[in-house]
Structure 1
Amino acid sequence: MIPHDSIVALATPSGAGAIAVIRISGKDAIAIGNSVFRSIKNKDLTKQKTHTLHLGHIMDNTKTLDQVLVSIFKGPNSYTGENTIEISCHGSTYIQQQIIQLLLRKGCRMADPGEFTLRAFLNGKLDLSQAEAVADLISSDNEASHQIAMQQMRGGFSNEIAKLREELLNFASLIELELDFAEEDVEFADRTQFHELLNRIEFVLKRLIDSFAVGNVIKNGIPVAIVGEPNVGKSTLLNALLNEERAIVSEIAGTTRDTIEDELVIGGIGFRFIDTAGIRETEDIVESIGIRKTFEKIEQAQVVVYLLDSSSQMTDGSFKQIQIELEKIKNQFPLKPLVIIGNKADKLTETEIQNIKSEIPTILLISAKEKLGVDELKNQLLSFVNTGALRNNETIVTNTRHYDSLLKALDEIQKVKFGLETNLSSDLMALDIKEALYHFGMITGQVTNDELLGNIFANFCIGK
């Protein structure tokens, strides 16, 4: 059931600022706004055109609360599809509270988290995947996550799903029609065309499912574990990458007892760098706990940076031991990209540099302290991210709920395909088709329930 009462909320962040925006939406929103607004030109807001601005004062009886600008958006040509007004007032928290309390006394109620966007969905202004993209857009903190959210909010993902669902629905109708004429033993659905459609749907679903691996790390940030023996400069490297003194640096081995995490945007992609405790044999109980956590963080990371002290570890005949340690990491984590870094390269001679590169050709020599080679490391990390889909403006799935529905839809499509190839009866195929259509509908909101909507919109901020 679509609610028709009027809701109010602060649409800008709470706290003092230059300007604050208070939003009202509902059947009586403009009338309620008009009851507290006195135009400088004596305008009646209920008689004004949509998408217009009006200067005046918010009045509590004879008391003037603030001089404001009121924006009018008449339904259905508004974000929510309902009558909506936005009051731009001065950003004093006192003024904000006074205006909202006044509107509550005039018949509004406080909006629930995400209720404006929920009403946009219920009124057909957005489908469910687009509504979820609104929250992703608000929380986006780098270019890539912003681009994905914008594409989804414009309907790129939902349009692709809706097209597949429509084609499948057409064939489902023909299959159902065959069941009505079962005694005549006729076929209304061309089996060859149906098989081609199923192959195409299977291909698209697999592509969307595969994109989740990229989309999820872009949305949440790509975790990079910085590991190595104690005192090789892991904390110094983290500080150099972040360009701030985030981690404690000292000459004492084992200074980092716990993992330290921070984020950095490189080329529009978010990376979460994890400075871990040094890996070595130790009897220190606290340090041992930190080392155990290091291996846990490597397990969670998408990329592993193994740091060496090229000024000592690699000039005293220890190449063989280093190769053994690297092989251990490769064997334990075979699917994770491994970046081998030789730190403190500013202390090496040209001969030593050539010797190191001949032993470990893939090594990247840097000086974290002097910030030499740090940009090369950033470029190498960026190369691990498959941004081709972003450049080509392809649909990328970032939402776990969508990913789950796609997996279930693919499973049902493969059942339908198997049934078609094995001449399964139409009534049994129809059941699998209905299940596939159900999972498609769950993505866009054509199939939904109150619990699902509650879970989705509970994570929105109030005022949106």
Structure 2
Amino acid sequence: MINQDNIVALATPSGAGAIAVIRVSGADAISIGASVFKSVRNKDLTKQKSHTLHLGHIVDDEKVLDEALVSLFKGPNSYTGENTVEISCHGSTYIQQQIIQLLLRKGCRMADPGEFTLRAFLNGKLDLSQAEAVADLINSDNEAAHQVAMQQMRGGFSNEIANLRQELLNFASLIELELDFSEEDVEFADRTQFRELLERIELVLKRLIDSFAVGNVIKNGIPVAIVGEPNVGKSTLLNALLNEERAIVSDIAGTTRDTIEDELVIKGIGFRFIDTAGIRETKDVVESIGIQKTFEKMAAAQVVVYLFDGLQLSDKTTLEAIKNEIEKIRNQYPMKPLVIIGNKSDKLPEVQVVEITSEIPEILLISAKSGKNVEELKDRLISFVNTGALRNNETIVTNTRHYDSLLKALEEIQKVRFGLQHNLSSDLMSIDIREALYHFGMITGQVTNDELLGNIFANFCIGK
């Protein structure tokens, strides 16, 4: 599947900038680069050492297109494993287009999305999970996502999977050998050691599968729905959290008629805050649609922030109604963290603060307008995220494809354990072992097909 042609693409974001990097990879990349490059010291690019930089001009016959710096990487010691040239030119879009068109005329073709990384994978420079981590690294927009992508790109996850696969493969070979000598009724695989290995593999797989709950929110952000009745300060709270006027604030009930979303990074973790329409009985058709969306967002969110007007909590009847509403939400979403917020607390006398906190001990009294206790709210939100695995630099699964393969591998390992416990024949167990090995191989790319690779690398940006 490895193409032998030479590919070219812009490696930096499209548009004008200070500089742009144009990447060429392929067997003839260096000779093509030499045909358009004129060194200020008359160097022949084809005779230079790998991993060197050269200053000169990009020329089209006698026409000088730009002054540029050319980086030279000879295969297999390059990102793609092939000869690679990177041209750092000025960031004018006109210059970029002129140089790329020149390289196309010299024998290159435009690279497909992710084709440089695909070639790195096909040439053995990266395994498949590391290649996917490259895309995650490019897309990481907070410290936690960056840390997880870096750990995976360095091979932490793939090494763990590869070691398990190799140990299982060793035992699988012995099981297969027993089948060759089935008439002799001999056992080459030590059943006790095999049982211990299966137990260890199952523990590791369960740990990796459990880590996906953390990994998924690190990668995609934690959706937090801010809900409550109209005019309790939901939009003001969103603005206070984001430290900008993101949502319209007014004294008119029902101002927010649709959900408003924005993102905030708290201590390296991404949160997606959703300001929803106030929940109330209304005959307004548009507002009713917004309220329906509020319930949908509550169901989809991983954390619900329920906001009340703290001034209303001084009324005993209202307080009881709110307590009942809290209990109703808890019953409806028993597994969903619920943060109870009393807003406008800066206008409450101390005696009422004591009464409210005694009635609802878990309530957090804030003032979204003045910012009082907003930082404490952020601390409470971050407490819902298990960052222990991050601090301990443990392997965290963030990729849905990996998660699916791990689940299937675990299912096959459990079948093998069942067969071992009930003394099933080796030929039956070998089928399940081969299936487990297949799913391990799907993660690292030892088992692939063109459709799988096409789906993965189609999501990459062009130039990477």
TM-score relative to the length of structure 2: 0.99
Q: How does 1:39-438 map to 2 (within 5 A)?
A: 39-315=39-315, 317-438=317-438
Deviation, structure 1 residue 3:
1.2
- Which residue type is aligned with residue 192 of structure 2? T
Would you say the 8 A contact 2:313–2:356 is kept in 1?
no
Deviation, structure 1 residue 284:
1.6
Q: Secondary structure at the match of 1:4?
A: coil
Q: Which residue is equivalent to 1:38?
A: 38
Would you say the 8 A contact 2:37–2:57 is kept in 1?
yes
Distance 2:123 2:281 in 1: 63
Q: Secondary structure at the match of 1:318?
A: helix
Q: Which runs of 5+ in 1 are unaligned?
A: none
Deviations 1:342-395 (A, max 9, x none): 100111111111111111111111100111111000000000000000000000
Q: Which residue is equivalent to 1:8?
A: 8
Would you say the 8 A contact 1:132–1:456 is kept in 2?
yes
Deviations 1:126-185 (A, max 9, x none): 000000000000000000000000000000000000000000000000001111111111
- Which residue type is aligned with residue 310 of structure 1? G
Distance 2:147 2:356 in 1: 41
Deviations 1:101-128 (A, max 9, x none): 0000000000000000000000000000
Deviation, structure 1 residue 288:
1.3
Deviation, structure 1 residue 75:
0.5
Deviation, structure 1 residue 290:
1.0
Distance 2:318 2:41 in 1: 85
Deviation, structure 1 residue 4:
1.4
Would you say the 8 A contact 2:312–2:318 is kept in 1?
no
Deviations 1:413-454 (A, max 9, x none): 000110011111001111100000000000000000000000
Q: Secondary structure at the match of 1:405?
A: helix
- Which residue type is aligned with residue 26 of structure 1? G
Distance 2:164 2:339 in 1: 41
- Which residue type is aligned with residue 214 of structure 1? V
Deviation, structure 1 residue 321:
0.5
Deviations 1:296-340 (A, max 9, x none): 100100000000100124445421111110011000000001100
In percent, how many aligned pairs have the same letter?
83
Q: Secondary structure at the match of 1:130?
A: helix
Would you say the 8 A contact 1:306–1:340 is kept in 2?
yes
Deviation, structure 1 residue 281:
1.5
Distance 2:448 2:243 in 1: 47
State the Cα RMSD in Å: 0.7
- Which residue type is aligned with residue 178 of structure 2? E
Distance 2:186 2:346 in 1: 81
Distance 2:314 2:26 in 1: 71
Distance 1:44 1:417 in 2: 63
Distance 2:268 2:313 in 1: 35
TM-score relative to the length of structure 1: 0.99
Would you say the 8 A contact 1:315–1:352 is kept in 2?
no
